[in-house]
């Protein structure tokens, strides 16, 4: 790299030495204590932090005074921003407001001249991004704005350079008189601009673009060092209300250099109710809670986590951890000042664990048995029974329910559906795929093996269940997106057209994943003509896949990973599966852990649960890492993972929050109440009413088709093509996208009407073979009937007051049947029944 190129790219480097001044009460640290600045446009953000003997840190960047002892070399403003003036060695003095000297910063300035070059990629593009010019609502819209079309967040520098410097007869720039450039006059509103004022004359952004124009509008240079990492300082910190923090952002490059990009980075906060951040990276904490500030620069992203405790003092002495989950959560409570509620009752626990583990209400006799037991380990024993981990066939009785319930969840993710346009797998493929998943779960197949068999499947979709994965998604791009979202929890769709706006994934990363599937082919086969034409999945030599913008051939590369040697590989999917299931690669484990945690605890460690990315950190990173490590050490055993969570004390907390728990967010100080999924709720109604819902099949265009045998439960249905207005109204997904968001539990009026006065619930209450009819035929007295109704709905005994109230309803009714039906109807419409609590 020659001297001009070095000046052009404006590198900022500095040593890691910091100045620390100690006094009796506090220490003060100034970062950095020494810096190198290269080029007139280089900027440096100073950061001043003090802390007392109890390690309480305070950012004083905006509270101290700065003085440049060499103003002809460097200047510094009141916010700690350092600007180079001329080449040489500069000194900056830092004092507190009382005049006490806290430290001195040495800044060496290199290669500053009036004709300094400007890097289009490193300086102009970030300025346009920070000013909002290349966002989707502005000039990066599909057709641009006002005749100017830019790439989203500057992912195509060559295209943007042409649009700015050559398009529109070069009227946007004026190299002879750079101040007269239209892009500057519009951005400062000297000329009417639909996007409003983006910056003022003299601002950093203004000076960058002005100097770029004056330098002859140089274009992007392919040989420039590429950014490889973005570091935000501090990465995380605890704050008190109204405290502030000046961030520092450092970009690292593939040539070993680094530069301060604090003033060029773009900042956004996940929750403005908890903390705000301004354009120069100054955070202000507004109230207690936890959030993160997302920092983006030149296609890379990172975060700074903000934690503001709810209380200064919290007594956790009564919370005795049962396993490592409790240890990590307790530590988090300590940092956040959160007081948990107590453990739930046995009545609540037995219902909760049945619904979470097998999607089924417990039988009354099992509830009675559990409540009577005095075994101190009875909760662990019940979890082991439900998960089939006792080793005793006489106790491991719930394998079918467990496999059915979790096959339902995997069926949603994998979009098992016989009839969608273009992706339908037919009846034969649907049943084969569903049965393979259910059998895999029944056998407790490790999740890494489950993923491997899916990704490398081939053969007839009627003989090989996982082969249907490649019938549902056929194009390499679709397979890349589905594989990333289902097995990695990564929403990769954005990177198909441009660099991911919230991640470090580029279009090259996207097509590197797609390249693994370019050899997958399908063909028709007449072997199963009786049940519809068969499809066979096979593999041929992979075809090249090209970058849609550059036209370069993209090599198969795991997402975010290094290029893998694929010489001699006849099936690139094997290489992908090896990477995906490697115990050293935590991505699959993180995805599974986060999903299972969300299903059991009501919210993921990362939310949305299939949106794992750098800029969406877990609520407890330490707990996530510990769970991932445990899951991998248990050889991807799904049941053991569930057991670990369900035997923790955190899982067993009450769902009744105290005043101190109402606003604490995702810290698990209470059990999060969850509405029962549509299929579970329908089965619960059948169980409560002792009825069996008939499921009539639906063929193409809604034509009635053969159903399933009477007695088949809703959680056992292999796809959504079974007629049920109730299930559709209560949120059953259509299985057309591989996203958790397709299943909804948001309440609406139609759901209320279904539950309160729908034909289904009325039909079940009055069924001539139902529970109420059996009470009347068996001459069951009211006391026993009321007790039984509470057990089959709420999984508990009624209180004396409840029993008396129900007795009055029955006796006051026109007849006994109507009275008992009213009691059962009321119980089925309580929140206690409709929700898992």
The CA-to-CA distance between both ends of the chain, in Å, stands at 64
Phi, psi (5° rounding) for residue 63? -110, 0
Question: At 264, is the secondary structure helix, strand, or coil?
Answer: coil
Q: Cα torsion at 519, 524, 527, 530 (round to 10°)?
A: 140
Q: Is residue 322 part of a domain?
A: no
At 26 the pLDDT is 67
Phi, psi (5° rounding) for residue 443? -85, 0
- Element spanning 326, H or E: helix 324-336
Q: Is residue 420 part of a domain?
A: no
pLDDT tens track for 326-348 = 999 999 999 999 999 999 999 99
Mean pLDDT is lowest, of 316-325, 509-518, 544-553, 634-643, for: 544-553
Q: What is the CATH number of the domain that holds 21?
A: 2.60.40
Do residue 723 and residue 826 come from a single domain?
yes
Average pLDDT of the chain is: 88
Q: Is residue 315 part of a domain?
A: no
Q: Is residue 432 part of a domain?
A: no
Structure tokens at 787: 């007790």
Structure tokens at 431: 């049943």
Calculate mean pLDDT across residues 660-688.
88
Do residue 690 and residue 796 come from a single domain?
yes
pLDDT at 18 over 60: no
Helices (H) and strands (E) in the chain, counts: 28, 31
At 606 the pLDDT is 94
Do residue 694 and residue 830 come from a single domain?
yes
Q: Is residue 611 part of a domain?
A: yes
Do residue 208 and residue 234 come from a single domain?
no
Which carries the bigger pLDDT value, residue 113 or residue 648? 648
Do residue 66 and residue 129 come from a single domain?
no
Do residue 656 and residue 695 come from a single domain?
no
At 5 the pLDDT is 39
- Element spanning 811, H or E: helix 800-812
Do residue 19 and residue 166 come from a single domain?
no
Instruction: Write the DSSP symbol of residue 361.
Output: P
Structure tokens at 553: 């051939």
pLDDT tens track for 424-463 = 788 889 999 999 999 999 999 999 999 999 999 999 999 9
User: What are all long-range contacts of 318-326, with beta carbons under 8 Å and residues at least 24 apart?
Assistant: 319/649, 320/649, 321/649, 322/647, 322/648, 322/649, 323/644, 323/647, 323/648, 324/626, 324/630, 325/623, 325/626, 325/627, 325/644, 325/645, 325/648, 325/650, 325/651, 326/648, 326/649, 326/650
Do residue 731 and residue 645 come from a single domain?
no
Q: Say how far residue 740 (Cα) sits from the centre of its chain.
A: 11
At 358 the pLDDT is 98
Calculate mean pLDDT across residues 35-54.
86
Q: What is the 3-state secondary structure (H, E, C) of 144-196?
A: CECCECCCHHHCCHHHHHHHHHCCHHHCCCCCCCHHHCHHHHHHCCCCCCCCC
- How many whole angstroms separate alpha carbon 288 and alpha carbon 273? 9
Supply the range of the domain harboring residue 273: 230-303
At 181 the pLDDT is 85
Do residue 542 and residue 657 come from a single domain?
no
Which carries the bigger pLDDT value, residue 446 or residue 550? 446
* Domains in the chain, number: 6
Do residue 816 and residue 696 come from a single domain?
yes
Q: Find out whether 520 and 479 touch, Cβ atoms under 8 Å.
A: yes
Q: Is residue 390 part of a domain?
A: yes
At 530 the pLDDT is 57
Which residue in 105, 19, 680 sits closest to 358, CA to CA?
Answer: 680
Edge-to-edge strand order for the sheet containing 300-308?
236-238, 300-308, 289-297, 266-269
- How many whole angstroms separate alpha carbon 61 and alpha carbon 77? 11
Q: CA separation (Å) from 148 to 133, 134, 226, 298?
A: 10, 10, 27, 21
At 2 the pLDDT is 43
Counted residue by residue, the chain has a size of: 837
Residue 20's pLDDT band (cuts 50, 70, 90): very low
At 12 the pLDDT is 35
Q: Which of 214, 245, 270 is a domain's end point?
A: 214
pLDDT tens track for 158-215 = 888 888 888 776 778 888 888 888 888 888 888 888 888 888 898 888 888 888 888 8
Beta strands 65-68 and 88-95, pairing class: antiparallel
pLDDT at 702 over 80: no
In order, the DSSP letters of 621-674 are: HHHHHHHHHHHHHTTS-HHHHHHHHHTSTTTTB-S---GGGTT--SS-SSPPPE
Cβ count within 10 A of residue 663: 11
Mean pLDDT is lowest, of 11-25, 354-368, 516-530, 652-666, for: 11-25
Q: Is residue 196 part of a domain?
A: yes
Provide the percentage of residues in the chain whose pLDDT is more than 90: 61
pLDDT at 267 over 70: yes
Helices 426-442 & 399-414 angle (0-180, nearest 10) = 130
Provide the percentage of residues in the chain whose pLDDT is more than 70: 92
Q: Which of 110, 128, 150 is a domain's end point?
A: 110
Instruction: Write the DSSP symbol of residue 216.
Output: T
At 373 the pLDDT is 96
Phi, psi (5° rounding) for residue 546? -110, 150
- Predicted TM-score of the model (pTM): 0.90
Calculate mean pLDDT across residues 241-249.
94
At 9 the pLDDT is 35
pLDDT at 529 over 70: no
Mean pLDDT is lowest, of 276-285, 469-478, 507-516, 645-654, for: 507-516
At 223 the pLDDT is 86
Which residue in 720, 22, 701 sits closest to 412, CA to CA?
Answer: 720
pLDDT at 248 over 70: yes
pLDDT at 3 over 60: no
Which residue in 74, 64, 78, 61 sits closest to 34, CA to CA?
Answer: 74
Q: Is residue 477 part of a domain?
A: yes
Q: Which of 580, 612, 637 is a domain's end point?
A: 580
Phi, psi (5° rounding) for residue 752? -60, -45
In order, the DSSP letters of 536-564 are: EEEE-PPPPEE-TTT-PEEPP--TTS---
Do residue 682 and residue 818 come from a single domain?
yes
Structure tokens at 342: 């107590």
- How many whole angstroms separate alpha carbon 488 and alpha carbon 330? 28
Calculate mean pLDDT across residues 20-30.
64
- How many whole angstroms separate alpha carbon 477 and alpha carbon 483? 10
Residue 498's pLDDT band (cuts 50, 70, 90): low
At 167 the pLDDT is 78
Residue 499's pLDDT band (cuts 50, 70, 90): low
pLDDT tens track for 286-308 = 999 999 999 999 888 899 999 99
pLDDT at 283 over 90: yes
- Residue in the block written with tokens 């259509």: 734
At 528 the pLDDT is 65
Do residue 683 and residue 827 come from a single domain?
yes
Instruction: Write the DSSP symbol of residue 296.
Output: E
């Amino acid at each position: 790299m020659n001297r001009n190129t070095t000046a052009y790219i404006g590198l900022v480097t500095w040593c890691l030495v910091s100045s620390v001044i100690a006094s009796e009460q506090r220490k003060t640290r100034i970062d950095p204590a020494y810096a190198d600045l290269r080029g007139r446009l280089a900027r440096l953000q100073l950061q001043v932090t003090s802390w007392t003997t109890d390690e309480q840190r305070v950012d004083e960047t905006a509270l101290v005074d700065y003085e440049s002892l060499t103003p002809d070399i460097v200047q510094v403003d009141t916010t700690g921003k350092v600007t180079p003036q001329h080449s040489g060695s500069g000194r900056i003095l830092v004092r507190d407001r009382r005049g006490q000297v806290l430290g001195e910063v040495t800044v060496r300035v290199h290669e500053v001249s009036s004709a300094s070059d400007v890097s289009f990629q490193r300086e102009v593009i970030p300025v346009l991004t920070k000013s909002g010019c290349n966002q989707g609502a502005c000039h990066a819209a599909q057709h641009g704005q006002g005749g100017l079309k830019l790439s989203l967040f500057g992912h195509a520098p060559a295209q943007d350079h042409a649009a700015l410097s050559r398009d529109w007869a070069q009227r946007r720039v004026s190299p002879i008189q750079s101040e007269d450039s239209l892009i500057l006059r519009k951005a400062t509103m000297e000329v009417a601009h639909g996007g409003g004022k983006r910056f003022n004359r003299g601002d950093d952004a203004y000076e960058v673009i002005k100097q770029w124009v004056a330098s002859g509008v140089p274009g992007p240079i392919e040989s420039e060092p590429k950014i490889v990492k973005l570091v935000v300082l501090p990465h995380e910190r605890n704050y008190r209300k109204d405290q502030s923090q000046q961030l520092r952002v450092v970009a690292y490059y593939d040539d070993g250099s680094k530069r301060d990009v604090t003033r060029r980075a773009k900042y956004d906060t996940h929750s403005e109710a908890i903390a705000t951040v301004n354009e120069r990276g100054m955070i202000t904490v507004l109230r207690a809670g936890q959030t993160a500030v997302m920092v983006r620069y030149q296609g890379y992203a990172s975060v700074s986590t903000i934690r503001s405790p709810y209380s200064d003092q919290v007594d956790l002495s009564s919370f005795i951890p049962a396993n490592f989950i409790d240890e990590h959560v307790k530590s988090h409570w300590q940092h956040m000042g959160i007081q948990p509620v107590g453990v739930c009752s046995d009545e609540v626990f037995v219902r909760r664990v049945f619904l979470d583990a097998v999607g089924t209400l417990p039988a009354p006799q099992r509830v009675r048995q559990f409540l009577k037991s005095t075994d101190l380990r009875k909760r662990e024993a019940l979890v082991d029974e439900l998960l089939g981990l006792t080793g005793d066939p006489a106790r491991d009785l719930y394998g079918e329910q467990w496999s059915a319930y979790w096959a339902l969840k995997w069926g949603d993710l994998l979009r098992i559906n016989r009839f969608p346009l273009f992706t339908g797998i037919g009846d034969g493929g649907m049943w084969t795929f569903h049965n393979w998943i259910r059998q895999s779960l029944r056998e407790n197949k490790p999740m890494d093996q489950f993923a491997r068999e899916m990704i490398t499947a081939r053969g007839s979709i009627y003989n090989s269940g996982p082969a249907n994965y490649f019938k549902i998604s056929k194009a390499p791009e679709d397979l890349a997106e589905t594989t990333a979202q289902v097995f990695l929890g990564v929403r990769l769709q954005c990177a198909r057209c441009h660099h991911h706006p919230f991640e470090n994934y580029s279009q090259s990363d996207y097509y590197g994943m797609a390249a693994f599937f370019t050899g997958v082919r399908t063909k028709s086969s007449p072997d199963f003509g009786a049940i519809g034409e068969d499809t066979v999945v096979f593999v041929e030599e992979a075809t090249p896949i090209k970058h849609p913008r550059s036209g370069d051939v993209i090599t198969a590369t795991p997402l975010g990973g290094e290029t893998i040697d694929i010489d001699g590989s006849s099936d690139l999917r094997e290489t992908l599966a090896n990477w995906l299931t490697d115990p050293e690669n935590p991505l699959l484990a993180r995805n599974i852990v986060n999903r299972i945690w969300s299903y059991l605890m009501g919210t993921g460690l990362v939310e949305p649960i299939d949106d794992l990315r750098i800029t969406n950190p877990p609520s407890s990173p330490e707990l996530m890492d510990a769970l991932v490590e445990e899951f991998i050490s248990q050889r991807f055993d799904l049941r053991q993972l569930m057991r670990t969570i369900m035997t923790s004390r955190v899982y067993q907390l009450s769902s009744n929050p105290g005043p101190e728990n109402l606003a604490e967010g995702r810290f698990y100080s209470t059990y999060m109440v969850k509405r029962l999924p549509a299929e579970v709720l329908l089965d619960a109604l059948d169980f409560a009413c002792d009825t069996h819902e008939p499921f009539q099949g639906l063929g193409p265009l809604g034509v009635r088709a053969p159903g399933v045998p009477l007695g088949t439960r809703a959680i056992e249905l292999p796809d959504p093509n079974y007629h049920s207005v109730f299930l559709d109204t209560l949120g059953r997904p259509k299985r057309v996208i591989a996203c958790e968001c397709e299943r909804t539990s948001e309440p609406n009026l139609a759901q209320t009407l279904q539950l309160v006065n729908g034909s289904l619930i009325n039909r079940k209450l009055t069924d001539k073979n139902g529970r109420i009819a059996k009470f009347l035929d068996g001459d069951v007295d009211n006391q026993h009937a009321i007790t039984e109704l509470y057990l089959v709905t709420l999984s508990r005994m009624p209180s004396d007051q409840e029993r008396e109230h129900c007795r009055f309803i029955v006796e006051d009714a026109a007849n006994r049947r109507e009275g008992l039906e009213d009691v059962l109807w009321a119980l089925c419409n309580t929140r206690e029944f409709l929700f898992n609590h």
